[in-house]
Amino acid sequence: MGLADVVLTGGDDVLDAYRKLLGPSVDGTWSLPNARLRVTAAPQNLVLVGVDDAASTTRLLTRRGLELDAIPDGLRARDLPVGITSSSVAPGSAGGDAGIVAVDHLVFFAADRDHAVALFGATLGMDFRLAQSIPGVTDPEQAAAVTQLFFRDGELIIEVVAKSDVPEKISFWGIAWRTEDLELSAQALRDNGFDVSEIRAGRKPGTRVCTVRDRTLAVATLLIEHSRGART
């Protein structure tokens, strides 16, 4: 697999927000070690999975029942915020003051657990690593109603929150950005005008997180710091 391609829809305000988060761009594109982020006029936020051979992958996905539509730089699954791309991008690094080092994970919502497992696991071929109830939820009905699913594609982790009351069958919800110094990153973003929450313990043991609350980032945005050995 190649690098994941995160495509966000937006104009100058979104571009400016990501320059503050990630540093200078090249034509609205940022390359990181495990993903590329692009701000475009696309009608929908989506994630394209990097593939080495687009033609053979297209045939395989079609046999697996996925309908694909052509878009710039790739193919999008019909009515879904995912697709594939064979666009070759060398791994890079963010250059902003916030100290972002990589995408930690991407977050999707799904209306049905089994559909999410079928799409990301069986169809797209990602490694299905874990299914669990939301940590810290003690009410049995609430715990049963929401499931976290984790998939891995190379160096990128996909988290899917499956709950029956979401309006779309699959939606791309947010990005968690990895940093090695959460205090530095949070303060740098505050200095750049972002509303950043207080730092708190993450749901995963050995992590700390904070939320960046800004609509111009186009999707929900989290910063995460892992203690040594915490990330798998």
Per residue in 199-231, pLDDT (tens digit) is: 999 988 999 999 999 999 999 999 999 997 555
Single-letter code of the amino acid located at 114: D
In a domain? residue 92:
no
Nearest to 124 by CA among 84, 178, 90, 155: 84
CB proximity list for 139: less than 8 A, separation 6 or greater: none
Single-letter code of the amino acid located at 129: R
Instruction: Mark whether 214 and 118 lie in a shared domain.
Output: yes
Largest CA distance in the chain: 51
- Give the pLDDT of residue 94: 77
Q: How many CB atoms lie within 10 A of CB 11?
A: 11
E strands, 89-185, are 100-110, 127-133, 146-153, 156-163, 170-179
- Give the pLDDT of residue 211: 98
In a domain? residue 93:
no
Extract the tokens encoding 204: 């995963």
- Encode pLDDT of 59-98 as tens digits: 999 999 999 999 988 999 999 999 999 876 667 887 789 9
- Give the pLDDT of residue 151: 96
Which residue, 37, 56, 85, sits at the end of a domain? 85
Please give the average per-residue pLDDT across 105-125, as a whole number: 96
In a domain? residue 119:
yes
In a domain? residue 95:
no
Percent of the chain residues past pLDDT 70, beyond the cut: 91
- Give the pLDDT of residue 28: 94
Instruction: Mark whether 62 and 115 lie in a shared domain.
Output: no
- Encode pLDDT of 146-193 as tens digits: 899 999 988 889 999 999 889 899 999 999 999 999 999 999 999 999
In a domain? residue 232:
no
Q: Is the pLDDT score of 19 beyond 90?
A: yes
- Domain holding 113, by residue range, is 100-226
The pLDDT-based confidence of 42 (bands split at 50, 70, 90) is confident
In a domain? residue 39:
yes
Instruction: Mark whether 11 and 58 lie in a shared domain.
Output: yes
- Give the pLDDT of residue 148: 94
Instruction: Mark whether 152 and 187 lie in a shared domain.
Output: yes
Which residue, 85, 120, 146, sits at the end of a domain? 85
Mean pLDDT for all residues in the chain: 91
Which residue, 85, 113, 146, sits at the end of a domain? 85
- Give the pLDDT of residue 22: 96
How many domains, in total, are found in the chain?
Answer: 2
In a domain? residue 132:
yes
Instruction: Mark whether 170 and 68 lie in a shared domain.
Output: no
- Encode pLDDT of 44-67 as tens digits: 999 999 888 889 999 999 999 999
Instruction: Mark whether 105 and 80 lie in a shared domain.
Output: no
- Give the pLDDT of residue 141: 65
Between 17 and 72, the more confident residue is 17
Instruction: Mark whether 81 and 107 lie in a shared domain.
Output: no
In a domain? residue 106:
yes
Q: What CATH number has the domain bearing residue 133?
A: 3.10.180.10
Single-letter code of the amino acid located at 107: V
Query: What's the pTM?
Result: 0.92
Rg (CA), the chain: 17
- Residue that the structure tokens 């879904």 belong to: 80
| Separation of alpha carbons 97 and 66, rounded Å | 41
Instruction: Mark whether 129 and 165 lie in a shared domain.
Output: yes
Is residue 230 within 8 Å of residue 205, measured between CB atoms? yes
